[in-house]
Every structure is written in structure tokens, then in C-alpha cells.
Structure 1
Amino acid sequence: MPRPPRSDRPNHARRGGRPARRPNAAEQAGAPAPKGSARGRAPAPIRTDGPVLELEVERIAHGGIAVAHHEGRVVFVADAIPGERVRARVSDTAHERFWRADTVEVLEASADRREHVWAEASVDRAPERRAGGAEFGHIADERQRALKAEVLRDALSRFGGVERDVVVQAVDPALAPGARADGTGWRTRVRLHVAADGAVGPYAARSHTVVPVASVPLAVDELAALAPLSERFPGAVSIDLVAPSGADPQLVVSDGERMPRGERPVTSEVVGDRRFTVDRDGFWQVHRGAAATLTKAVQAAVDADRFDPRAANLDLYGGVGLLAAAIGDRFGDTVRITSVESDERATGHAGANLADWVGARALTARVDRFLAELEADASAGERARLREATVVLDPPRSGAGRDVVDRLAALRPAQLVYVACDPVALARDVGLLRRQGYELEHLEAFDLFPNTHHVEAVARLAAIV
């Protein structure tokens, strides 16, 4: 296919079409951002001469890294499974309380260890040359989901004060045609990076080093076929591969220059019988079956006995209207719902995407400011309709946070349906809401990012009368 101009670039970096955090550039290639690194700052180079330790791997931690101890010090170990004994090279000693290390040899393997689904990410490669973005690819699928459930369960206990069993569900294969049973073939958006010599590849794990690869197995087949892995792009910064469900796959070359907002191309995504317009550089769930999975999960999470279609229902961090549409499709065309999103272009698309419902509207506003204005200016009648409301919120990875939680609690909606991509952020907000008189009633978790540590959850919290 002809290459587009280099300025014609997507930036799949924010939820719901707003341009900046989830996932970041490294995460689009699948590589999680180094924890604690400043935004836009390259992480410290990985040490290749650190000491090699023999470690007993104890458990998994938030972020997908395993935990071990050496002479009383915590060691976070990549590419290991709890219960294994490994040799690991220390890669980072900058922190007094812990070190980081990478597995270089498995001495006693878990029964759940398998050949890595991405050869270029295997422990057979030197740590600094391992492709990032498939950090659980060496673990059997069921164990991956069990580890994610363990992290979510532990976070809810520690930060939310909730003891709750958790099961992480695989995506229904009927919702993700082409995705394979080993957790490959699901990514509809992939970002590859370009090295100084023009070579193309993902970043190595926890670094900004471009790693040449011969395959991108997590990508859907049409993107795997399109990926220019053997070509060179001198002067480019990144290559974006996009496979919308309602349009042809595309390859976009970026030289790092931002496209003027008015010139951003749009595309379409299809969920069931509904079509959504979204900026090509806006956020859309990357798993082929994710949007349909979350639509069904949000519909199931709403307690119908508490739902009032005439109440002042809200869809916060609403993006292009996916979850507001899920509410409308479940409860009919009499539903009143306001979708609130900070990005003006996403809000414009949401208005068009929600045009089926006379009572639906899309507002451009920061969620915290929108809630503050509601709290300050709502009439007695509006407050009554807010107390009967259902609020859906799908915040960025950092969560809603104390300010938004406090303002929501002050408005006292009947129920909250919270979509979360980070276990600790969800658990923290659950804890804040519990202190404000809400209780966790319903929780489902989904493996929308197979072969990575990421997990998505949908929770319902209800006001205690």
C-alpha cells in the first residue's frame, strides 16, 4: 500500500479519544512504562554487568513483576513465575529498598512455564534485547489469569478494605474473531519505534532501545502482515499500525510532528449493530473483542432495580460514547444520559454516536470541574434527579482520585459502575468510596490484554441507604 505522509500520524494515547495517557507510546507496542519514570524522559539504561543472583521466586506484584528476596532485600524479577528458582542478573540498584533483576536462567521451572509466544521476548535472549510488551508470554494462559486475579484481590484487600474472591475471565472467542487460544492475534493497534539507523521494532522491556524483531504475534493477522519489520525508515520516529473494525487496516509513518487538530483523520469501529466514529489517533480498546466485552459487562453491572431512565444519568470520561451507548441500548430510547469528556473532538464524535437517544448529550469538560459545577449550581430538582442517577465512569489508568470521588459522593447517585484498567487505582478509589458510604456489590474482571500483566475490571458500587 502507498505510504501516507509522515505528518499523518495517530497517537493512541488516551481513553475514549482524548489525546494523552492510556496507553503511552511504549505501551502501544506493549511495553509498560517504567514505574516512576518521568513522562517523556527516557528510562535509565539497563545494566548488563550487574551481579547474577540465585533467587526463589515468591509471588507476583502489581505491574507483572515477580518478587524474591536476597539477603533481606526485595528483588523484583522479570520473566519469572512464582514458585520457580532462577538465576537473575541485577539490572537496577538505584533504589535503597529494592533491586530489579532479569531472569537469565531457569533452574527449577514452574509447571506453568511454556515456550514464549514471542521468540524475541524469550529468556533465551539477553535481557537488553528482549522485546517488551508480552511480559506474561512465557506463562500458561490459565495461570496468567490466576496471577492477575491474585493482584486484583490483593489490591482490593490492601487499599480498598474489601475481601473478595476474583476470577479473571477470558474474552469470549465469538467477540474476537481471529484471536488465538494462546493469547495472540488480538491487538488492533500497534506502535513500532524507529532507531537512529532507521531500523523498526518495539522497545526492549523497560527501556527506549529499539529491538529488531521478525514478528508481532500479539497483533491481529492483518497488522502482522502489514508490519514493515525488515524495512528502514530513516528520519521517522514511529510506525503505527491500525486495524479498525469498521475500516481497512492502515500503516502510518510519524516524524514526531503533531498534526493540526482540524486535520486529524477519522475512522469507524463497530460493536454489535452499532457503528462509532472515532479519530484515528484517538483511543479505542486495543483488543478486538474488548469494546463488545465491556459493553456487555457494563450492561450487566447496572442494577435495573436502581436504574431510572429519567434520572440525571452520567457517563464520565465518556470518550466517543461507547459506554453511554451501552446504557441506552439496554434501557431504551427514553434514557437521559450526559457523556462528559475533556477532549473536544471526542465529544463531537460522542454527540453523533449518541444521536439515537433524544435524552443523550455530550459535553466537553474536565470531570472534576463538571462535578464541582453540578455541586455548586444544581437546583433542588436537579439534585433529586442526581440522587436517582446511575453514573458510569471509565477513568484513565491513574483512576478517578480523591477529588472526583468526593464530589461524586456529595451528589450521592444511587449507583456507580466503574470501569478500571489498573487494580491498585480501582482498589484505592473503592476504599475512598466506602468511606463515603458506598459499598462494592459487583465485580467482574476480564483478560483484555493476554500475555501481558494488564487486566480490566468492571465494578458496581451502591450508596448505602
Structure 2
Amino acid sequence: MFVADAIPGERVVARVTDVQHDRYWRAETLEVLRASADRRPHVWPEASVERAPEQRAGGAEFGHIRVDRQRDLKAEVLRDALARMGGVELDTPVRPVDPALALGASLDLGTGYRTRMRLHVAGDGTVGPYAARSHTVVPVASVPLAVPELARIAPIAERFPGARAVDLVAPSVGDPEVVVVTGERMPRAARPTIEERVGDRRFRLDRDGFWQVHRGAAATLTRAVQELVDADLFDPRAANLDLYGGVGLLAAAIGDRFGETVRITSVESDARATEHAGANLADWVGARAVTVRVDRFLDDLAAEAGNGALAADRARFRDATVVLDPPRSGAGRHVIERLAELAPRQLVYVACDPVALARDVGLLRERGYELVEVRAFDLFPNTHHVEAVARLTAIV
């Protein structure tokens, strides 16, 4: 049973809200009878167990747990998933963001880190987050997970009749913005852009495009990918790939580590992101960005590599390093099968869901890959989410 707003070992009064037959039940805590030593006052009063469940702000479901215990719980989930679905016994601690990269976020409280936040709008124009697992807008007096510059300008006391949502965006270059979302689709070429800085490098992207929400996340993942790639297995001339590449963050991480002669193709289905990736990767003569779904891109590569006349191309892929950062659902069986056919030397897999990662690790192990190392990072404090970066190498 999954009991929201409780901690393992506590005694609570709970109400069952969802029964998935013999798979699991969901329940919500109504009262805490015997509290855990790991319980603390919720960092977001509007999400506290003292409120009725339907009036608790969603998006900070671990906010009542001490941060170090949050990380332990996330590590337990990752370890269990890798054992059950990946067939690997591995104890991986969940690390906090390096204070030098956190840029003012509170590592002790897990607050002040979100550079992006969406507030929803109710029928009467009231703004706020949704209550957990519902579309009920909860009015709030604070947004403690937001970076301070967004918390200061969040229009939580205002009304926006007719709007669909209010987005808060604080890029690392330029001023924070409040964006009222009406539902009208803006022409692609007219979409506002912003810049994000990671170390000495800048990335251009659409204001509403994807970027990691934690202020230190992009730098953390850049460093992790750079460190996890085995330099002895890396060939800068091979057909290296950055799958689900977005605006080129991780392809640039590879280029910055291995030099301007690196050959790498960033693959992304979003055309605007690919346009930005092409410009963001212009420093590397061998870098390119293509707009296509990853599964279709790999289907085409596998078909070409199966042609006997292209033996040299097959060799280029066997020498390759592949970085992939799929959506929460993971890469999945089809993509894994295609990658295994191409047989790159090493894979660096960035995952935001431990179960999807473990499933894909299991599929890769069945196809001749070994899980060498996993690093996990607490990029979403006060939530159950955890980011992991894994390296797998082909078994020779």
C-alpha cells in the first residue's frame, strides 16, 4: 500500500482512495498517531497533513521528511528497482547537488531550487498548484521550492480569468518572467527565447522549451556524463550519438571533454529544440543535430547497417559512445533492441525514473551489456523523484 504523507514506521489514520486489485492500494493520511523521528514540519504549509487531503498543494510530497531521509528513501527505491528489474545488486547513494552548483538553493531544507514552476488557474481566475492527483487548484501564500527571484514575483494573490496557467521562468541569463498561458498557440518562429549558462557555455532555447528545473541540475548532469564516459573506450571519430538530445546540453558535455574534433549527432523529435541544438553545437565541426524520433532514427541506422555494402558504417557504430536522456517512460524495448543491434562500445544513460532505468538496464544486460556504475542525484528535493546516470559497456 502507498500511503501519501506518511513515513515508513509511522502509525497513521489513512483513507484508501484507489484499489488496483492485487497490485497495490493507495491511501491518504488523515492523522498521524505516532510520528517518525524523520518527520519535520512541512516546508510548504499548504501541503501539510494538517490540511484536508483535497486541499493539500501537490508537488512537494516528501516535504514532511528530513532531507537526508528523503535521499535514503530514494536510494532504496533505486536499489530495489535495479535488483528486481535489472538483475543487478547495487547500492547507490543519492547525492545532494554540489553546493558550488546549487547557487543559493537550501540543501538542508530542499527549497529555493526550482527555476521553472507552473501555477494552474481555476474557473474563477484563482491561481495555485493542483492538489495531489487531482485538477483542483489550491490557493497558496508561498512557493518555497521556487528560486527566490521567482518567489518574489509569483502572482499568487492575483486572479487571471480566462487563462489556463501562469508559468514562472528564471533563466540563468536575464530577468525572471511571469508568463500567462491562454491556450492560444504561438507561431513557432515567434516563440520567445532565453539563454541558460552552464559553466562558461551558453545555450539558447525557447522560453517554454525543456530545461532542467533545478538551478544546479544542468551543470550536475554535464559533470556526471563527462566523468562517466570511459575515455579509453571513447573514439572521437566514431558515430557517437546523443539521443533525446534536446538543445544539445549533453552533446556539448561530450564535446567539451574530448575536443573540437569530436563527431556526434544529437537526435531530437522537437524541431525547435533541434534548431537551437544546431546553433548551440556550432563549436564542433563534427557535431550535427537532426529532427526525428529516436526510434525511427535507429530503425534507419539499423537498416543501413544491415546492408553488406556498409561494413565500415557498422564498425563506426561498434566504436561509438551513445548518450541517451529519454523521457520519464524510458527508452523502452524497441529502442534498446535497435541500440543492441548497432552494438556501441558504451552507453551513458540519464534517467529520471528508477523503474524505467532498471527495466532498460535489464534489457541491455540480456543483450550483452554490463552495468558498470550508477550515480544518483537529488535534483528534485521534497519530491519522490530522483535523477540517475548509468554507464553500461559492451561485454567483449
Smaller-chain TM-score bracket: over 0.9
Instruction: Give the aligned partner of residue 48 of structure 2.
Output: 122
Instruction: Give the aligned partner of residue 71 of structure 1.
Output: none
- Does residue 431 of structure 1 match 2:362? yes
Candidates 170, 174, 196, aligned match of 1:269: 196
- Does residue 396 of structure 1 match 2:327? yes
- Tell which deviates more after alignment, 445-454 or 341-350: 341-350
d(CA) in 2 for partners of 1:295 and 1:451?
A: 23
User: How much has 1:176 moved relative to structure 2?
Assistant: 1.6
User: How much has 1:430 moved relative to structure 2?
Assistant: 0.2
Q: How does 1:286-365 map to 2 (within 5 A)?
A: 286-365=213-292
- Structure 2 gaps of 5+ residues are none
Candidates 330, 333, 353, aligned match of 1:422: 353
Q: How does 1:95-174 map to 2 (within 5 A)?
A: 95=21, 98-174=24-100
Amino acid at match of 2:344: P
d(CA) in 1 for partners of 2:86 and 2:78?
A: 11
Deviation per CA, 1:254-303, whole angstroms, max 9, x where unpaired? 12222222221111100000000011111000000000000000001101
Deviation per CA, 1:187-206, whole angstroms, max 9, x where unpaired? 00000011111111000011
Candidates 209, 227, 233, aligned match of 2:154: 227
User: How much has 1:226 moved relative to structure 2?
Assistant: 0.9
Amino acid at match of 1:146: D
- Please give the secondary structure, in 2, of the residue aligned with 1:182: coil
d(CA) in 2 for partners of 1:388 and 1:348?
A: 28
The RMSD of aligned alpha carbons is 1.0
d(CA) in 2 for partners of 1:168 and 1:99?
A: 27
Indicate the percent of aligned positions where both proteins have the same amino acid. 78
Instruction: Give the aligned partner of residue 338 of structure 2.
Output: 407
User: How much has 1:389 moved relative to structure 2?
Assistant: 0.5
Instruction: Give the aligned partner of residue 461 of structure 1.
Output: 392
d(CA) in 2 for partners of 1:145 and 1:165?
A: 13
User: How much has 1:96 moved relative to structure 2?
Assistant: 6.4
Instruction: Give the aligned partner of residue 447 of structure 1.
Output: 378
Amino acid at match of 1:305: D
Instruction: Give the aligned partner of residue 383 of structure 1.
Output: 314
Amino acid at match of 2:360: D
User: How much has 1:98 moved relative to structure 2?
Assistant: 4.1
d(CA) in 1 for partners of 2:24 and 2:324?
A: 35
Deviation per CA, 1:61-117, whole angstroms, max 9, x where unpaired? xxxxxxxxxxxxxx3210000011111123335756543221111111111100000
Structure of greater relative contact order (alpha carbons < 8 Å, 6+ residues apart): 1
Deviation per CA, 1:116-160, whole angstroms, max 9, x where unpaired? 000000001000000000000000011000000000000001111
d(CA) in 1 for partners of 2:84 and 2:174?
A: 44
Candidates 95, 118, 127, aligned match of 1:200: 127
- Taking structure 1 as the reference length, the TM-score comes to 0.83
- Please give the secondary structure, in 1, of the residue aligned with 2:54: helix
d(CA) in 2 for partners of 1:206 and 1:292?
A: 31
- Please give the secondary structure, in 2, of the residue aligned with 1:427: helix
- Structure 1 gaps of 5+ residues are 1-74
- Please give the secondary structure, in 1, of the residue aligned with 2:70: helix
Instruction: Give the aligned partner of residue 3 of structure 2.
Output: 77
- Please give the secondary structure, in 2, of the residue aligned with 1:133: coil
d(CA) in 2 for partners of 1:410 and 1:306?
A: 18
Amino acid at match of 2:243: L
**For this pair of structures, how many residues does the alignment match?**
391
d(CA) in 1 for partners of 2:176 and 2:371?
A: 40
User: How much has 1:367 moved relative to structure 2?
Assistant: 0.8
d(CA) in 1 for partners of 2:311 and 2:283?
A: 29
- Please give the secondary structure, in 1, of the residue aligned with 2:78: helix
- Please give the secondary structure, in 2, of the residue aligned with 1:100: strand
- Does residue 87 of structure 1 match 2:13? yes
Structure 1 stretches (4+) deviating beyond 3 angstroms? Answer: 92-99
Instruction: Give the aligned partner of residue 104 of structure 2.
Output: 178
TM-aligned CA distance change 1:461 to 1:234, over 3 Å: same
Amino acid at match of 2:350: V
Candidates 198, 209, 213, aligned match of 2:136: 209
Amino acid at match of 2:180: V
